[in-house]
Structure 1
């Protein structure tokens, strides 16, 4: 009989934690418990990928009517009904959370709706006052969005808040240039919101392929997003009546709607926000949304006191097997800040179970992981950017940009990008970058070939599917440039 209450105690009910818990219990026969302080499903299911992708779908219908007319259909435009959509979205999130709870229950995992912290290397203490011992503890607490350290930053929203708006604003300022900022800029613009975006860097989507970044930024600007590069907030505060002159639009707060005829004193409103930028311009917005970074959820968990080492951002430091400096404690997912993608967290959870409960030491594989940025157009990427590959070895670049048939016929000026980065020595495809509608769907399949070690000649030998956008990936014969 075990000296512990559980073989495994998982802290965090997101995708990685739930997968690890139910596989350890269901497949490996371990006695498992899991604690979650919020909703089951974590960032991805409740306040990230899932609801965001549904919002992406909703926003893309904005161009359907005009395109359909150019294809001979007689359709009428209508206003977007945020209230109706939001109700359906909430129902879907409730359904998905129920699925996660059911998966745990059916696998025999004991679930606790409570916040957990570590009392010692084998003991978990819950906010309910209960304590449990476990042979192994798995940290899967994820991360959270943070506001910048500027005066009145509390007036701005973060990504978690956007899914709870009772109404859409008329004007919004998005601060940031990463994938979350750019995705929501496209989403909200598609839903009819007037979007301004500040980013202090020289180009959005830092860390991604430079050519792809430029095309996406141009597309966002052409669609009507007011993008300001090299720009940040200097000052922000609640707008005064003087600030509001010339800005008759309603002001939306997180807690509801404050109309311009509200009797509430202006200084007490959390509605219109006056913002001054580094370029000297000042403007009033209904909402300010900060997409300026995330932090791992490691606060007040008793980790460092036990000897668990944390990094500069508070991330849990682990080895290739997801083990911390304390042998009985492991960590996976965003709390480790290795590669913050849901499928990666799930793979890390599976590797943990293989290593700890199935006697099959399995290091985590973070090589050639495909990912997508759901801007408009989408960006699918796998492998090295041109810049990173050039720093590593001599390369050839095969790249083409063109107007796709469907939108060109409809009169839109949209452009797509297909790009391969190839090793001159081994001929292996080191990077594939696609900017196009449904690029996320395409990059998944390219990722399979690249994971198998496909060369440029393997791509060349593949017959094209015509007429498609993706055929360009296998028809680029001559390098665009060398590096």
Structure 2
């Protein structure tokens, strides 16, 4: 096999696949090195399997609503081994049908899977655990990240989100430590499956990177559903094994407390997968958080080495990884010609309730501009009432000076889909008047966004030459 390439991409997740495809499209002899399977964490341990489990959780919740609509059925029971079979079916199907894989192959990318860990043995040379030795004029690091482990006694007794997906049965109880995006998703899914969940967050609120109203709404919904949510709980001293699982010991202001469950899942952030790369051999530096340091062109401190995706510590979501992969692949071939630009990046999670956001949050918007904030509850929307999913809200943030939409935050059913529409409006530079005039189909969840826009536009005293139907 040819071992000399113009570009060698390490990591076959979204960033790596796009980087390799872009480099090959530009005429470079390109190798894509995958530690395990093509697709990386997104396809095999991230959004694809997680979303499959979240869909199962949604089906359970919908089944519990059947009697409200005159449909007789028993209490849903989760056959977890069969569900995991479905997860594997979906992952395999996505892998086989990946359009990007076919495009990479047709572009001439050498796809090298299941190579094991790769490391630098010279500035332009990598070697894999399977014995491959590849030289690259340029090398692109797309090795992603992994769950951060706690450094307290007994931490080995805890699991990560990856372990949670691989369980053989639904645990009767679970501690989830860390209430960011990953933690709340684990908590929400297993709560729907019947697990007694206790969710712990060291800070004052769950989902700390979301708008404060989003955090408060999701917290209330979780507690109303019977989940225990504990914030500001103090510091974890240790974990201990019990007869039926694990015990967590915490302390705060001199007082100690414990919490027990069959399983403890830690979701306290991510670390870059760089430990095995021997970056110093290539002259690649990391920042204070351990992520690979890059400039606006995604070049590392070694100009011939670039990095993209989670390993950079930027916004760690698939769309951002795809964009970074394109930029890194371009610059690996052409030099520093394409800077990474800021795009509108909608983010959301398929919890119960769903939450999603795009653009500025309320606090930042009020600090930076003359902001108008409009909040419409989902129980004002006909479709949400029809579906029996009427809790939550849509918050629209508008710059009073320009009337342009600058942010949108939604909690409730189809929140992720609603925010995609708001993202398009922001990207297009639409004013709130423009959005309010769109004739959204009725009854749809999107209509709540139209109602928020209309309310904001009226607040700004715009002159409408039309009026909405009475039913919106």
- 1:234 touches 1:276 (CA, 8 Å); kept in 2? yes
3-state SS in 2 of match to 1:399? strand
- Quick one: distance in 1 between partners of 2:334 and 2:259? 59
The structural deviation recorded for 1:106 is 3.9
Are 2:151 and 1:152 aligned?
Answer: no
- Quick one: distance in 2 between partners of 1:105 and 1:281? 56
Are 2:85 and 1:83 aligned?
Answer: no
Pairing of 1:292-303 with structure 2 (within 5 A): 292-303=268-279
The structural deviation recorded for 1:284 is 2.5
- 1:285 corresponds to: 261
348-357 vs 158-167, greater mean Cα deviation? 348-357
TM-score, scaled relative to structure 1: 0.87
Aligned residues: 448
- 1:67 touches 1:410 (CA, 8 Å); kept in 2? no
Q: Could you report, residue by residue, the CA deviation over 1:273-318 in whole angstroms, capped at 9, with x for unpaired residues?
A: 1223336443321100000111011113122343222111211111
- 1:16 touches 1:332 (CA, 8 Å); kept in 2? yes
- Quick one: distance in 1 between partners of 2:387 and 2:328? 50
The structural deviation recorded for 1:138 is 0.4
- Quick one: distance in 1 between partners of 2:403 and 2:388? 39
- 1:22 corresponds to: 21
3-state SS in 1 of match to 2:182? helix
What is the RMSD of the two structures over their aligned residues, measured on CA atoms? 2.4
The structural deviation recorded for 1:409 is 6.0
CA pair 386-118 structure 1, distance change in 2 beyond 3 A: same
Q: Could you report, residue by residue, the CA deviation over 1:24-47 in whole angstroms, capped at 9, with x for unpaired residues?
A: 22x223211122222321111111
- Quick one: distance in 1 between partners of 2:382 and 2:61? 16
Pairing of 1:64-213 with structure 2 (within 5 A): 64-99=62-97, 104-112=104-112, 113-213=115-215
Are 2:367 and 1:391 aligned?
Answer: yes
- Quick one: distance in 2 between partners of 1:289 and 1:212? 23
The structural deviation recorded for 1:117 is 1.3
- 1:68 touches 1:75 (CA, 8 Å); kept in 2? yes
The structural deviation recorded for 1:361 is 2.6
Are 2:49 and 1:51 aligned?
Answer: yes
- 2:60 corresponds to: 62
- 1:173 touches 1:288 (CA, 8 Å); kept in 2? yes
The structural deviation recorded for 1:360 is 9.1
Are 2:300 and 1:319 aligned?
Answer: no
- 2:223 corresponds to: 221
The structural deviation recorded for 1:119 is 2.5
The structural deviation recorded for 1:62 is 2.0
- 1:464 touches 1:475 (CA, 8 Å); kept in 2? no
CA pair 410-9 structure 1, distance change in 2 beyond 3 A: closer
Are 2:240 and 1:237 aligned?
Answer: yes
Q: Could you report, residue by residue, the CA deviation over 1:198-235 in whole angstroms, capped at 9, with x for unpaired residues?
A: 11111111121111111111111111111111115333
- 1:243 corresponds to: none
CA pair 379-424 structure 1, distance change in 2 beyond 3 A: same
3-state SS in 2 of match to 1:278? strand
- 1:460 corresponds to: 436
- 1:430 corresponds to: 406
The structural deviation recorded for 1:22 is 2.6
- Quick one: distance in 1 between partners of 2:364 and 2:182? 22
452-461 vs 217-226, greater mean Cα deviation? 452-461
The structural deviation recorded for 1:143 is 0.3
Q: Which runs of 5+ in 2 are unaligned?
A: 461-472
Pairing of 1:231-380 with structure 2 (within 5 A): 231-232=233-234, 233-240=236-243, 251=244, 272-278=245-251, 280-357=256-333, 361-380=337-356
Which residue among 13, 16, 29 is the counterpart of 1:31? 29
The structural deviation recorded for 1:474 is 2.3
- Quick one: distance in 1 between partners of 2:441 and 2:388? 24
- Quick one: distance in 2 between partners of 1:411 and 1:374? 17
- 2:469 corresponds to: none
- Quick one: distance in 2 between partners of 1:287 and 1:481? 50
CA pair 99-360 structure 1, distance change in 2 beyond 3 A: farther
3-state SS in 2 of match to 1:77? coil
Q: Could you report, residue by residue, the CA deviation over 1:124-164 in whole angstroms, capped at 9, with x for unpaired residues?
A: 22223442211110000000001111111110000111221
- Quick one: distance in 1 between partners of 2:91 and 2:386? 38
- 2:465 corresponds to: none
- Quick one: distance in 1 between partners of 2:275 and 2:388? 52
CA pair 21-464 structure 1, distance change in 2 beyond 3 A: closer
Q: Could you report, residue by residue, the CA deviation over 1:61-109 in whole angstroms, capped at 9, with x for unpaired residues?
A: 2222332211122222231111111112123323434456655444322
- Quick one: distance in 2 between partners of 1:351 and 1:392? 30
